Amino acid sequence: MIHQIVILGGGVGGTLLANVLARRLRADEAQIVVIDSHGEHKYQPGWLYLPFGEETVENLVRPERHLLNDRVHLALGQATKIVPDRHLIEMSDGSAVPYDILVLSTGADIAPDAVPGYAEGAHHFYSEAAALNLHEQLERFQGGKLVVGVADIPYKCPPAPLEFVFKVEEYLQKRGLRERTEITYLSPINRAFTIESVSEFVTPLLAERGIALETFFNTEQIDPIGKKIISLEGTEIDYDLLVLVPPHRGAAVIRDSGLGDAQGWIPTDRSTLEVKGHPNIYAIGDATDIPVSKSGSAAHFEAKVLSDRIVARIHGEPEEEHIYDGRVLCFLETGHGQASQLVFDFAHPPKPPDPNAFYHYEKLLFNRVYWYIVPNGFV
């Protein structure tokens, strides 16, 4: 039997998984299909650097086809509905793609419209266009009140807004505007970061850089005329420039198929990566409700485990030993040419080392070599 394995979404996890399966399963064992809506593979961690003019959009995008093994069939098109009872995916052009095994790697969408006043009042770097626009705003900024924060949890790349605030502090110093700028960092919870050890690491750094920390700030609305951001807790903060990570939601196809929770995240077993209640469907990456960072790193390690599980399943071997343990490895830029590193899993919280230049250059190097070592599954 030739198993039809369909991977919905050509991001980090979907692409890596497809390539590993193409190498490990023979053509008479499996046909591997990646469905992707636009065919462009974007290196989203690079968007952090666009507002500072330290990166170009061209460096951060490659055609998905160029990253896929020749044996993987890339189907470009918009999936509109997943029908588990019939083992197929309905496409916007009226066609249907059948599957024996389905992997949902549909990622996360941003939902700025969920915050009243966002479009008129706030900026972010969670898309190429928004990050480039923020670059223009920063270049025009002449000092005043700069507010950086997070509208809602979860969001992609959890350290990114902290990295942004450290980098923008350095940027303002270089432009001679630091003395004329008050910087405030907003956090929805009662500390700077969700993971306590990381919070303990960054809180003194924020203080050292003169960045005020406002906790328990859950954005309710933005008043773009009065230039105020207002929280559910009743706090109002004035701004001249507001950089707010927008709320995130699961992909439309997940919500429209009734496979997500209230925010559209897919209920997924955190060890087996099976979608709960659907033994032939798996989910990886930002799309899941697994309590781990929505990050390329988590998607990467999940895809590796899932490739082992799917190969074992098709070969009739036990899958049980292949378990995702919550592993994540990422960097945290702290500005001024330094970074720290976060390595953790479900059982072991990160112990961030002191910031140094080595981790900063390692991150920059990784940003460049990503294309050659990650999508093909070599690391």
Fill in the amino acid letter for 239. Answer: Y
3-state secondary structure of 378: coil
**Comparison of 34 and 162: residue with beta carbon closer to other proteins:** 162
**Comparison of 116 and 353: residue with beta carbon closer to other proteins:** 116
For other proteins, which stretch binds (CB under 8 A), given 47-55, 137-145, 186-194, 202-210?
186-194
**Comparison of 326 and 375: residue with beta carbon closer to other proteins:** 326
DSSP 258: T
Kindly state whether residue 153 participates in binding other proteins, applying the rule CB under 8 A: yes
**Radius of gyration from C-alpha coordinates of the chain:** 21
The least CB distance from residue 232 to other proteins, in Å, is: 6
Alpha helices in the chain (DSSP H): 12-24, 64-67, 118-121, 128-140, 160-174, 196-208, 252-256, 296-314, 357-373
For other proteins, which stretch binds (CB under 8 A), given 20-28, 215-223, 273-281, 295-303?
215-223
Phi first, then psi: give them for residue 203, nearest 5 degrees. -60, -45
Kindly state whether residue 197 participates in binding other proteins, applying the rule CB under 8 A: no
Kindly state whether residue 142 participates in binding other proteins, applying the rule CB under 8 A: no
For other proteins, which stretch binds (CB under 8 A), given 55-63, 101-109, 232-240, 298-306?
232-240
Strands 108-110 and 236-238: unpaired
Fill in the amino acid letter for 166. Answer: F
Kindly state whether residue 329 participates in binding other proteins, applying the rule CB under 8 A: no
Rounded Cα distance between 155 and 219, Å, is 14
Select from 221, 26, 196, 262 the least CA-distant residue to 121: 221
**Comparison of 192 and 374: residue with beta carbon closer to other proteins:** 192
The least CB distance from residue 94 to other proteins, in Å, is: 37
**Comparison of 99 and 324: residue with beta carbon closer to other proteins:** 324
Residue from 177, 189, 213, 323 binding other proteins (CB under 8 A): 189
Kindly state whether residue 232 participates in binding other proteins, applying the rule CB under 8 A: yes
Kindly state whether residue 291 participates in binding other proteins, applying the rule CB under 8 A: yes
The count of residues in the chain is 379
**Comparison of 117 and 188: residue with beta carbon closer to other proteins:** 188
Q: CB 116: neighbour CB atoms within 10 A?
A: 15
Count the residues of the shown chain that bind other proteins, applying the rule CB under 8 A: 14
Kindly state whether residue 221 participates in binding other proteins, applying the rule CB under 8 A: no
The least CB distance from residue 209 to other proteins, in Å, is: 24
Kindly state whether residue 325 participates in binding other proteins, applying the rule CB under 8 A: no
Please, are residues 40 and 375 in contact by the beta-carbon 8 Å criterion? no
Kindly state whether residue 194 participates in binding other proteins, applying the rule CB under 8 A: yes
Kindly state whether residue 234 participates in binding other proteins, applying the rule CB under 8 A: yes
Kindly state whether residue 188 participates in binding other proteins, applying the rule CB under 8 A: yes
Fill in the amino acid letter for 319. Answer: E
Kindly state whether residue 347 participates in binding other proteins, applying the rule CB under 8 A: no
Rounded Cα distance between 295 and 12, Å, is 9
Residues 254 to 273 in contact with other proteins, rule: CB under 8 A: 262
Token pair for 163: 């990295």
Please, are residues 295 and 330 in contact by the beta-carbon 8 Å criterion? yes
SS (H, E, C) 180-225: HEEEEEECCCCCCCCCHHHHHHHHHHHHHCCEEEECCCCEEEEECC
Residue from 233, 236, 320, 325 binding other proteins (CB under 8 A): 233
For other proteins, which stretch binds (CB under 8 A), given 118-126, 134-142, 230-238, 308-316?
230-238
The least CB distance from residue 191 to other proteins, in Å, is: 9
How far lies 85's CA from each of 24, 99, 126, 264, 303, in Å? 29, 11, 35, 20, 25
Rounded Cα distance between 104 and 127, Å, is 22
Kindly state whether residue 177 participates in binding other proteins, applying the rule CB under 8 A: no
Residues of this chain that interact with other proteins (CB under 8 A) are: 153, 188-190, 194, 196, 216, 218, 220, 232-234, 262, 291
